[in-house]
Structure 1
Amino acid sequence: MAVRKVPTPNYDYEINRIMKVYQNARQLLLTELLRLVEADLTDNATRIALETSLLRQIDFILQQSNQEIQRTVEELILESFRNGQGGLLYAVGEYSSLSQATQGVAFSMLAKQTVDAMVADTFTDLLTASEHTSKKLKRIVRQTVAEQMRLGIIQQGGRRFMSKTITENLTKQGFTKKIDDEGFVGIIDKAGRKWKLDTYSRMVVRTKLTQAHSEGMKTQGIESNIDLAVISSHGAKDSCKQFEGLVVSMNGLTKGYKTIEELRKSNKIFHPNCEHTFYPIRNLDVLSDKERAIHERKSKNI
């Protein structure tokens, strides 16, 4: 039987579903926070009430979006995992179509444990970024309240000139920019780079869905006694290119082959945002002479 290559999954639609949740949360938060530049905070009671209200709203809006995202993540990871299971069965000829293979998979205890762990891991990453954003936004609220008070005192004192930075930050345009630049930051990585909440979340979701598909194939491989697979090829320009067409061991059950986990830990392939996947094979006999030659050449250089 000729090799059946499992199509590389495209998760743009699924990722956009989650991004819409973040976009809606951003708009709700922005609407609430803009009340700061419209309010008269010279009255102490008004200032305390508004600040308290906004801090609570930040928590409430982000909590609501987190709950919706968690439900969506659970659904998408399960779907991607099952597609991976079906992909293996289709690739090795157990079913005539990918859709039939996906419908025919059994969801074992091993599969359930793997999916549960992936869902928890994914949501932990997303929640960490959301909590960082919450802290940043709350800091902006407190800073802005202080600036509003300072501005009020200056104006009451008859001062005509004041810091340009203060006045710009307290316009709607300036405040919106401040929130976007400093508030909606998901994480700051080891290199000191700021990742916007939506950019970081997009990367996490894409990476985890791709990984869920791979884990589905690996889990089904254990249950179907299939261990070898070929890394996909799409003309990569980065370090991934040296692995395209390489035959690997999905679960480390075949001596003499690099494992998927080894390669992932090298960070040279299967890294965050990596589009590479793999397609299972029963043995090397199903490969063409050209495909075997590619594997042999690549394996010597790794």
Structure 2
Amino acid sequence: MPVSPDGGARFAKVLADLYGDAAQHLIALVADRLAAGITDPGWAERKLSDVLRLRRDAQRFVTRLADQVDASLYELLAEAYSAGVLAAGGPGVTEAQAGIVATNRGAVQAYAAELAGTVQTTHTRILRTAEDVYRRVIADVAGQVVTGVQTRREAAARAVSRFAQQGVTGYVDAKGRNWSIDTYAEMATRTTAGQAHLQGGIDRYQQQGRYLVVISDAPEECSLCRPWERTVLSLTGREPTPGEVEGHRYGGTLAQARAAGLFHPQCRHSMAGFIPGLTRPAGRPTAEPEGDALRQRQRALERAVRESKRRVAAAEPFGDTAQLARDRALLRKRQAALREFVAEHDRKADVSRRRVNLVSR
């Protein structure tokens, strides 16, 4: 069975769901606190005096989140590594004989420590976001109501919906782009779990005495990986003889290919053990840039649906406001667009971790 960084995708969903739920909980925490007593006199003053209580609640939540992450990371990455060993296969390695899978504990611990350090950098931002948004909504609502623009309930629903639209930012990259905490956690986990999965396969191949692998021809590939499709690569740096790779294209070492972009995050390519004289030659690599464009478009549509679901959930605590009606209408529109896209291009959608109520309560 081929070994691929895409083998880390199912493990990434575990952490993405955890952080997605965390973002939803944080939005609900802020919205519920702001909605309580919103029509009462002196609402803004009371809410500002509650900032310390909100901070304590958010801190307790983040502490629980950190404990959950710590408890799951090593097991998750050990499973990804072992799955790579199993995928590489060979005599004596089967699902039924899990004891034969020799997990490299040191490597897995290093991957877990790296990933923990990455995702937990978002926790400080989570705390700061909760308090900043809480204060900002109070100020916005007070200002708008004083000028008679809209009711306090409407103003709060609008402000919190705007917060949900932006999401809980966990990371800002070098280009200034904001990454929501669930998207960032998924990206980081998918990358690290994919590396652990690949390492498990590499270790197993070398344990079997193999030093060559061949790269797959994946559908919907990107321009970084396309040059490496159906290419034979060396795991160790040892050069094969012309006779060993006869009929195949030799491209150098796996390390060189990865440095050039192969097996980047979300890469769909895989590698399989190459056996001189037995692995059959492949034809010319096929390009499918249209498929990659479709995949990127689908992801954008799915992100839009998830954003709308956050906005609906954020606006609901304030009752049947005009903002909630707008958010529900936008969600229906985005869901319809995604359904049409999936049906038109015969694809499968994966959007959601949480159902939301689309009718007035």
Q: After the TM superposition, which residues 200-215 of structure 1 pair with which residues of structure 2 at under 5 Å, given as runs?
A: 200-215=184-199
Q: Percent identity?
A: 21
**Contact 2:77 2:196 (C-alpha < 8 Å) held by counterparts:** yes
Return the alpha-carbon distance in structure 2 between the equivalents of residues 181 and 168 of structure 1.
Answer: 18
- 1:284 corresponds to 2:276: yes
1:123 and 2:113 correspond: no
Structure 1 pair 162–249 and aligned structure 2 pair: CA distance change class (3 A): farther
Deviation, structure 1 residue 197: 1.6
- Counterpart of 2:59? 59
> Partner of 1:186: helix, strand, or coil?
strand
CA displacement at 1:79 relative to structure 2: 0.7
CA contact (8 A) 1:230 1:248 kept: yes
Give distance in 2, aligned partners of 1:124 and 1:284.
Answer: 42
Identify the residue that residue 84 of structure 2 maps to in structure 1: 84
Q: Distance in 2 between matches of 1:223 and 1:185?
A: 43
State how far apart, in whole Å, the 1-side matches of 2:35 and 2:44 are.
16
Give matches, 1:130-279, under 5 Å.
Answer: 130-147=123-140, 150-151=142-143, 161-162=147-148, 170-172=155-157, 174-239=158-223, 240-254=225-239, 258-267=252-261, 269-279=262-272
Please state how far the C-alpha of 1:182 moved relative to its aligned partner.
Answer: 3.7
Distance 2:167 2:4 in 1: 39
Q: Give the Cα separation in 2 of the matches to 1:84 and 1:235.
A: 21
In 2, distance between residues paired with 1:254 and 1:117? 30
What stretches of structure 1 of length at least 5 have no aligned partner? 296-302
Cα RMSD (Å) of the superposition? 3.3
Query: Normalising by structure 2, what TM-score?
Result: 0.64
Decide whether aligned partners of structure 1 residues 145 and 279 sit closer, same or farther in structure 2, where only a CA change above 3 A counts: same
**3-state SS, counterpart of residue 162 of structure 2:** helix
CA gap of 1:237–1:14, structure 2 versus 1, over 3 A, is closer
Aligned-partner Cα distance in 2 for 1:280–1:41: 72
- Give distance in 2, aligned partners of 1:32 and 1:249: 53
Q: Is 1:104 aligned with 2:100?
A: yes
Give the whole-Å Cα distance in 1 for the aligned partners of 2:114 and 2:56. Answer: 27
- Secondary structure of the residue aligned to 1:28 is helix
Q: Deviations along 1:3-33, whole A, 9 cap, x unmatched? A: x645886556544433332233233322321
How many residues get paired? 272
In structure 2, the gaps of 5 or more residues are 241-249, 286-361
